[in-house]
Structure 1
């Protein structure tokens, strides 16, 4: 699917499933991008890559020719977001969005004038996205992360920001935000689930997409049934460790 049609499908709240990449290994990313996920997201916030890693990762995703190239930006900062877009990102997940004003700033960083403040210099991205500003704006998705106490409190206002295409739950931080002592603290399950329901309802009410990160495919399926419209599965580093441990256990098992 081309970037514009895919962006339209996300805005229409059609379901999508993506994958998360934190390792700076374009060969591995290329293989993952051929599996069939709707998008592959490179993590510039917590991932183990710099700008060159992002660029090479986008090249690898596009070589797979089946997944859209997304990025989680390092911060809600126009220069970094602009460089990722110029390198070829078709979706930007912006972390630590606390208010409607934060979300509006993220939209401005991703859109060309008159709808935003993105500077024109699409370098590599013009090969696939645009190259005219209006076409690029239509092809690029802007997604605000809901992961803080303030973001949850203001989620309805955030979802209503003009130009924002959707919200994305960072479950580890959100669980801590609602009182958990760690990302796996089960004592806050009830309030955490209520928070997820609030986010999904706010997005539906505003007519925007609602996404969430998940530890595995089964969890992603459950969240999609719950009302989220797109879901990301785990990460390359997590799966590398998990599968290696499984094979080690199998090799050492007694007959």
Structure 2
């Protein structure tokens, strides 16, 4: 899917479903990108890949001719964001955004002057995105993550920052942010659910995307019913492990 087409679909409020890749495995990433997902996100923060992994993963996604390629960058840093976009990402997911000022900094890193400070050097992205700065600005997405106590406290201000296309919930960190001892801690289920409702409602009221990561298609379907429009399903590594265990158990009659 072309970046501009994908950005338009996302900003319109249409539901998009994506997949998460943590492995530096372009061949498997390409196969996943052909399955019908709207996007595949490469995890450059916690994933097992360096810059060449971002580049080759984005090339593999583009080769599928179907999904858009996104990158969850390692940090809210202009260099990382610029590298991901220059490599051909149709958008970035920026982690650990705590304040409106930090959200504005992410937006500036995504946009070219006069609206931002992205340096011009689209070594690969120019093949498909832009290459005119204004066209690139319109075609790429900036999603910021709400996953800390401070980010949750400032969600209204973050969602009001011009140029932020959406807020992306990292459930594991958000669970810990509301007092959980570990991800999915049942002792804070009520607080976690309240945080989800708050973030989603604030985003919708601000006219931006409410995005979330999920562990399965079943959970993804439930989040869609709740009103989330940008939903990621699981990851390649967790699915690989689950499939391997299932086949092993079946072979051993367990």
Aligning the two structures, in what range does the TM-score lie when normalised by the shorter sequence? over 0.9
Structure 2: 5+ residue stretches without partners:
none
Q: TM-score, normalised by structure 1?
A: 0.98
Q: Which residue of 1 aligns with 2:197?
A: 197
Shift of 1:252: 1.1
Contact 1:12 / 1:209 at 8 angstroms: preserved in 2? no
Task: For 1:36-75, list aligned pairs within 5 A.
Answer: 36-75=36-75
**1:107 and 1:233 mapped to 2: Cα distance?**
25
Deviations 1:22-50 (A, max 9, x none): 00010111101111100000000000000
Shift of 1:2: 2.1
Contact 1:144 / 1:166 at 8 angstroms: preserved in 2? yes
Q: Which residue of 2 aligns with 1:213?
A: 213
Task: For 1:6-155, list aligned pairs within 5 A.
Answer: 6-155=6-155
**2:42 and 2:122 mapped to 1: Cα distance?**
19
Q: Secondary structure at the match of 2:168?
A: strand
**Is 2:233 aligned against 1:233?**
yes
Q: TM-score, normalised by structure 2?
A: 0.99
Deviations 1:43-95 (A, max 9, x none): 00000000011100001000011100000010000011101100000110000
Aligned residues: 254
Structure 1: 5+ residue stretches without partners:
none
**2:167 and 2:154 mapped to 1: Cα distance?**
12
**1:165 and 1:203 mapped to 2: Cα distance?**
10
Deviations 1:95-125 (A, max 9, x none): 0000000100000000001110000000000
Shift of 1:11: 1.1
Contact 1:88 / 1:128 at 8 angstroms: preserved in 2? yes
